[in-house]
């Protein structure tokens, strides 16, 4: 400070320069602090966003795999044939059987592509069942492919009256259920074949224990019986439904009706409780054809997970449900790999699987050195069709490796970088197969 006599007139240039320097140092420190706080906050937000995305993906996949594994639980012995309506799913079905886990491949970029499917299916016995079962008679006793129609019979008039256009039915012969008793499939008989490979159920080496999925195009009015010995009935027509899922024409050959003298019921003469071999409790004791209502198009779900790569290289995990528009599950994907764990050694052909082969080696979703894991059909030693059967019948766990990164670079730790997070998680497929106990 400049003094005149003993009076201070101001600051010296040196003092001003020192003051300005201190101000700049303090300001720079504050700016750096605020910048660090802002960067940390941004990083934290991006981390939270990634964590939320990973958690959402984990929850969604757990839900999908769990549902896909439930299947038609009490009818697991059947090989269910289906054919999609082209407008629903443009694929070559080739007489495929209906499995919960299917189409597990790796694309050209090394990402997994997996498809799961299931019905909202719940077995509720009694008159209030949401999946009621009816006796089924054929309109044409000599033709079941395409299965153009038939008549359902029951004294459950409420269930009959509720049948309408768009309902999905599973038509099957009850004989395999009668043949495959509990003692036949106990694990203490390891040399027994898996139920779907049992020669007793397909005596001429054909698929005798098959069933077909059809969708109702027209349900006639309920016809009351002439007397109390007869059942109420409703005529049905099957085919293509507007907005439907399944057609009634099967590349695999349709419904078999020549198994061990199984009765092919036609609509004449009139059905009586006596000639249907119904016992005193209402249970059917001899082979006949049945039709089980599974719901309608909204009760069927087909979900595909795949990675879509944009022209700019951005990779997005997509989830496609039925014919709905694909939904974005996560963006900026680095890795999406799905391995399926099996209870049977992949070297065993599906048609040769015995009960002893079903050792449940990956039943506990943990790291298991004896578990069998496959990343795709390319790693399977057999044919592509065998792999489809193999995954459908024996996949009981899924191991998913997944990672994604932030869309913008972060500046943490003094260097620009993209924040990456990922997980490796195993999902239990609560599979109804294998089913050694019938």
Q: Which pLDDT value is given to residue 257?
A: 53
Side-chain half-sphere CA neighbours of 167 within 13 A: 23
Q: Side by side, which strands form the sheet with 395-405?
A: 372-374, 333-342, 395-405, 420-428
Question: Closest Cα to residue 382, out of 423, 402, 408, 352?
Answer: 352
- pLDDT tens-digit series, residues 32-61: 777 666 666 555 656 666 677 788 888 899
pTM of the model: 0.79
Cα 114 to the center of its chain, rounded Å: 9
Residue 68 φ then ψ, to 5°: -65, -30
> 């153009």: which residue's tokens?
148
**DSSP 8-state code for residue 83:** -
d(CA 97, CA 117): 12
Helix (H) or strand (E) holding 172: strand 168-173
Number of Cβ within a 10 Å radius of residue 223: 15
Shortest CA distance to 65 belongs to which of 391, 438, 325, 404? 391
How confident is the model at residue 200, as a pLDDT? 61
Beta strands in 30-108 (DSSP E): 79-81, 101-106
Per-residue pLDDT of the chain (438 residues; tens, 9 = 90+): 555 555 566 667 777 788 787 888 887 777 777 766 666 655 565 666 667 778 888 889 999 998 888 777 778 778 888 888 888 876 654 456 888 888 888 988 889 999 999 998 776 655 567 788 888 887 776 666 788 888 888 888 888 999 999 999 999 877 676 665 544 444 456 677 777 776 665 544 444 567 889 999 999 999 887 666 567 889 999 999 988 999 888 776 667 655 433 444 444 334 444 444 444 444 454 557 889 999 999 999 999 999 999 998 889 999 999 988 999 988 888 889 999 988 888 788 888 888 777 766 555 544 555 567 888 888 888 888 888 888 888 888 899 998 887 655 555 544 555 667 777 888 888 655 443 332
Q: Tell which residue, 388, 307, 383, has the closest CA to residue 340.
A: 388
Q: What is the pLDDT of residue 123?
A: 65
Q: Chain centroid to CA 295: how far?
A: 17
Cβ contacts of residue 315 below 8 Å, gap of 6+? 109, 111, 307, 308, 309, 331, 332, 333, 334
Pairing status of strand 149-154 against strand 232-238: antiparallel
- Cβ pair 343, 328 in contact under 8 A: no
Pairwise CA distance, residues 263 & 286, whole Å: 8
- Compute the distance between CA of residue 242 and CA of residue 295 in angstroms, rounded to an integer: 16
Q: How far apart are CA 154 and CA 158, in angstroms?
A: 10
Report how far residue 233's alpha carbon sits from residue 267's, in angstroms, rounded to the nearest whole number: 10
Confidence (pLDDT) at 277? 46
- CA torsion sign for 241, 239, 255, 206 is negative
Q: Report the pLDDT value the prediction gives residue 231, as an integer from 0 to 100.
A: 74
Start-to-end CA distance of the chain, whole Å, equals: 102
Question: Would you call 25 helix, strand, or coil by DSSP?
Answer: helix
Closest among 98, 40, 225, 41 to 151, alpha carbons compared: 225
Q: Map tokens 């409780």 to a residue.
A: 273
């Amino acid at each position: 400070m400049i003094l005149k006599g003993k009076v201070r007139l101001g600051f010296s240039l040196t003092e001003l320069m020192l003051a300005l320097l201190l101000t700049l140092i303090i300001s720079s420190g504050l700016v750096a602090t605020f910048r660090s706080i802002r960067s940390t906050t941004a990083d934290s937000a991006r981390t939270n966003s990634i964590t939320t995305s990973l958690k959402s993906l984990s929850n969604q996949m757990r839900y999908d795999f769990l549902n896909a594994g439930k299947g038609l639980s009490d009818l697991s012995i059947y090989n269910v044939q289906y054919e999609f309506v082209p407008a629903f799913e443009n694929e070559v079905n080739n007489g495929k059987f209906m499995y919960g886990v299917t189409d597990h491949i790796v694309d050209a970029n090394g990402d997994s592509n997996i498809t799961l499917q299931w019905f909202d299916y719940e077995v509720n016995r009694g008159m209030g069942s949401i999946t009621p079962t009816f006796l089924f008679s054929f309109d044409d006793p000599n033709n079941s492919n395409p299965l153009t129609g038939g008549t359902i019979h029951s004294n459950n008039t409420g269930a009959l009256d509720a049948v309408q256009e768009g309902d999905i039915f599973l038509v099957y012969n009850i004989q395999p259920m009668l043949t495959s008793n509990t003692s036949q499939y106990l694990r203490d008989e390891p040399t027994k074949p898996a139920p779907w490979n049992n020669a007793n159920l397909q005596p001429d080496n054909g698929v005798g224990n098959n069933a077909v999925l059809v969708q109702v195009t027209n349900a006639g009015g309920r016809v009351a019986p002439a007397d109390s010995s007869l059942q109420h009935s409703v005529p049905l027509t099957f085919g293509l439904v507007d907005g439907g899922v399944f057609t009634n024409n099967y590349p695999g050959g349709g419904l078999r009706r020549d198994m061990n003298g199984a009765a092919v019921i036609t609509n004449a003469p009139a059905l009586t409780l006596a000639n249907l071999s119904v016992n005193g409790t209402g249970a059917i004791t001899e082979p006949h054809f049945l039709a089980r209502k599974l719901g309608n198009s909204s009760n069927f779900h087909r979900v595909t997970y795949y990675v879509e790569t944009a022209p700019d290289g951005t990779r997005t995990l997509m989830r496609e449900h039925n014919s709905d528009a694909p939904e974005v599950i996560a963006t900026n994907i680095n890795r999406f790999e799905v391995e399926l764990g099996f209870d049977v050694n992949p070297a065993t052909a599906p048609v040769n699987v015995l009960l002893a082969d079903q050792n449940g080696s990956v039943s506990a979703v943990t790291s298991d050195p004896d578990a069998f894991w496959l990343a795709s059909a390319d790693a399977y030693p057999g044919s592509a069709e065998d792999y489809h059967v193999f995954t459908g019948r024996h996949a009981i766990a899924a191991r998913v490796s997944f990672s994604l990164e932030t869309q913008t670079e972060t500046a943490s730790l003094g260097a620009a970088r993209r924040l990456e997070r990922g997980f490796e998680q195993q999902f239990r497929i609560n599979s109804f197969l294998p089913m050694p106990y019938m």
